[in-house]
Structure 1
C-alpha cells in the first residue's frame, strides 16, 4: 500500500513524543513492505537531509519556528496545511492512505477537502482532545474557533485512534466515528540495564519549560522537601519561555546549590541522569499519553505525576508499583509523593522493573503498529 505519514515535525530535528511516534511508524510501515512517504515542514539544512530507512521524506513547506511564548504559533501549521493541500492536489492519487495527527488541524482539513478527488483513506491519531474550557483558556476570545475546528475535524471520514481512554472518549464525544481504537503504546525500546540510584538522592525533570508543564510547582514542592531533607537534589533539563522565571524562583528560594539547571544538553547526559534518578518527576497538567512513565519504568526508575483533567499519564501509573500520583496539584502533595519515591528505595526500583516487564508488550509500539497494519488490510 502507498502510505503518506503526515506531520509538520520530524525527529530528531524536533524532539517530542509525537515526533518519535511518526518517525517510528513510518519506518515500521516501510519495513512491513509498504511504500511510505513522510510529508512535513523542512527542518534540516541542505547539507544534512533526512535519511529514513525505506521512507521518502518530502518537505511541503519551509523551515519555520513553531513556538512563541510557549504556545504553538498559528502561521506554521497554517502554512503546513496550505503546502499539504497543494502537494495533494498534484500528487494525492499517489497515496492509498494518509496517516495524520489531528493537531495541527489545518493539515487534516486539507486532506479532507481533497479526499473525494484523490480517493485515499484517512487515519487520524487523536493524541489529545481539548475541552471547550481549555480552548478558551488557551486562545481567549478566539477559543470558539479552536472548538469549532476541532469538532469539524472529528467529523471527517476517518479511522480514528487514541493512546488513552481519556482522549478516546473525548474524541467520540465530539463526533469521531466510533469506536475510536485505543492503540496500546508508543515505546520502541526495551528494558535498560539495572542501575543504582545516585547518592545523594536526586530527582529529575526533563522537558520544555512551558506553563502547562508546571515546573514552577515542582520547584515549590522541592523547596518543601528540601526543608525536611536537605541532602536531596533536583536536576531540571530543558529550555523554554519560562526559563528565566524558573531560575529566578530557584534563586529566590535559595535553592541554587540543590537544584541543577543544565539546560539543553546531549542525550547521553540526560540518559545518565535519568538512570540514576531516585524518581523522574513530571508535574504536567496536560499529557496525551505519558511516554515519560514508560521510559522511566524501562530504566527501573519510578515516576511521579500530578493529576489534572487533561493528564492521561496518570492512567499508566500504578501507585507503589511504578511510581506515584500526587494527591492533588499542590506543592505539599507533590513533595509528599517525591518523599515516598525516595523512601521506596531499591525495593520500589525492583517493583518498577517488574511492572515494566509485565507491561512491556502492551506498551510497545509493535502492538500499535500491528493494529494499524491490520486495519490497513481490512476492507
Structure 2
C-alpha cells in the first residue's frame, strides 16, 4: 500500500508561533514526510508574500488574521473564520488527501473538516491538545460561549476514525466523555530535539526560570510572591522570565510592590541558543500554569538536568510529568508560602535532584517518542484501509 497523502490542519505554525502545539504539529508533518508521505500543512498565513518558513512539507495558508484578544484569549470570531476557511479548502481538495490530522483547538476545526469530507472515505485523525470540563470552558469563554464550546467538544469526541492526545492525563479526559475511545498518546519528550550536554553543578548566580507566554492561564503573576517567599530562605535568589504577553506589566508592577523588581530579569523572547544556556544554568524551572495539555517546557528543562516546580490542578497535565523528588516537586496550591517552599526544596535538593532529573528525561525520551506515534497512526490507517 503506498504511503497516504496527508494534511495537517492547525491555525499556528512553528517557528512563527512558539507554543507546544505548534512544535507537535510541525514535527508530525516532518515525520510523515520522512516516511514518504506528501504532506500539506493547512494553516493561517502570518507572513508577507514569499516569506513563508522553509519546510520539508507544503505550507498551505488558507486564512489570515489575529486569533487572540489583547488578554491572550482565543476569540470566537477567529475560530469561526478559520473553520470556514478549512471547510472551503478541504471541500475544494477532497481528492488530494487520504489521511487528515485536524487539531481540535479550536473544536470547530473538527466539524469543518468532517463536513467538507463527508462521504469521501478519508481517514480523519482528531488531535486533542486538551479536553476541558464545562466549568473551565465557562471560565475561559463566558457562560454562553463556554456552554456552546463544551457541547461542541462532546460532539467532536464522536467524530473521526482515530483520536490522539498529548498526555495520559488528556487520554483519561477523553475516555471520561467517550468510554469506547482508544486514543493514541503521542510521545512528545523527543520534541526537545538533540539531547544537549548537561552538568549537575550550577554557577554562583542562583536563579529560577520561567518560560512561556505571559497570559492568564500561565499564572506568571504568582512568581513575584513565590520568589519573595523563597528569598526568605535564599536571600540572593532571583528569577529570569522568558516570553512576552499581556500579563508582563502586571507582573512588573507586582514585583515593584513586593520590592523584588531588581531580582527579576525580563528577558523577552530569546533565540534557541540563549534559551538553552538559561535552562542549563537555572536552579529550577518554575511553571505555575493552571492549564497545560502536556508541559513540554518541563521536558526541555529536564534535558538540561534542571528540575521543575509545577502546581497541582485539574487542567494541568504538566503536573503529571513531575514526580516529587525525581525531577522536581508539585506544589499542592498556588499560595505563595506553598509555592515558595517547593522552590526552596527543589533548590536545596541540589546536584542529586538534578542528576535524577536528567536520568528521568533520558528514560522518557527512549520510551516515548513522536516518531513511534506517527508510525502507530499510519498502522491504524493501513489497518482501517485493509478491512
**CA distance, structure 2, for counterparts of residue 65 and residue 104 of structure 1:** 10
Instruction: Write the deviation string for residues 124-154 of structure 1: whole angstroms up to 9, x where unpaired.
Output: 1111101111111112221211111111211
Q: 2:73 corresponds to which residue?
A: 71
Aligned to 1:221: 226
Asked if 1:85 corresponds to 2:90, the answer is no
CA deviation after TM superposition for structure 1 residue 176, in Å: 7.3
Contact 1:136 1:144 in 2 (8 A): yes
Partner deviation per Cα, 1:184-231 (whole Å, 9 max, x = no partner):
335232421123423231100011111111112222111111133211
Counterpart of 2:209 in 1: which secondary structure?
strand
Matched, 1:115 2:120: no
TM-score (norm 1): 0.95
Task: State the secondary structure of the residue aligned to 2:333.
Answer: coil
Pick one of 334, 338, 342 that aligns with 1:337. Answer: 342
Shift of 1:65: 4.6
**Any conservation in 1 of the 2:279–2:301 contact (CA below 8 Å)?**
yes
Counterpart mapping for 1:217-366 below 5 A: 217-366=222-371
Q: Deviation per CA, 1:96-150: give whole Å up to 9, x if none.
A: 0110111112221111112224321110111110111111111222121111111
User: How many corresponding residue pairs?
Assistant: 378
Asked if the contact 1:155–1:176 (Cα under 8 Å) also holds between the matched residues in 2, the reply is: no
Q: Higher mean Cα deviation, 200-209 or 42-51?
A: 42-51
SS of the residue corresponding to residue 33 of structure 1 reads: coil
CA RMSD across the alignment: 1.6
TM-score (norm 2): 0.93
Q: Secondary structure of 2:261's match?
A: coil
**Offset, 1:67:** 3.8
Distance 1:184 1:266 in 2: 25
**Structure 1 counterpart of 2:195:** 191
Q: What's the counterpart of residue 63 of structure 2? A: 61
Superposed CA offset, 1:300-321 (max 9, x none): 1111111011111111112111
Shift of 1:369: 2.1
Alpha-carbon distance between aligned partners in 2 of 1:373 and 1:113, rounded to the nearest angstrom: 23
Relative distance call for 1:129 and 1:376 in structure 2 (3 A) is: same
Q: Does structure 1 conserve the Cα–Cα contact (< 8 Å) formed by 2:167 and 2:185? A: yes
Matched with 1:124 is 126
Distance 1:200 1:265 in 2: 19
For structure 1, the residue ranges without an aligned partner over 5 or more in a row are: none
Separation in 2 of the partners of 1:190 and 1:269?
16
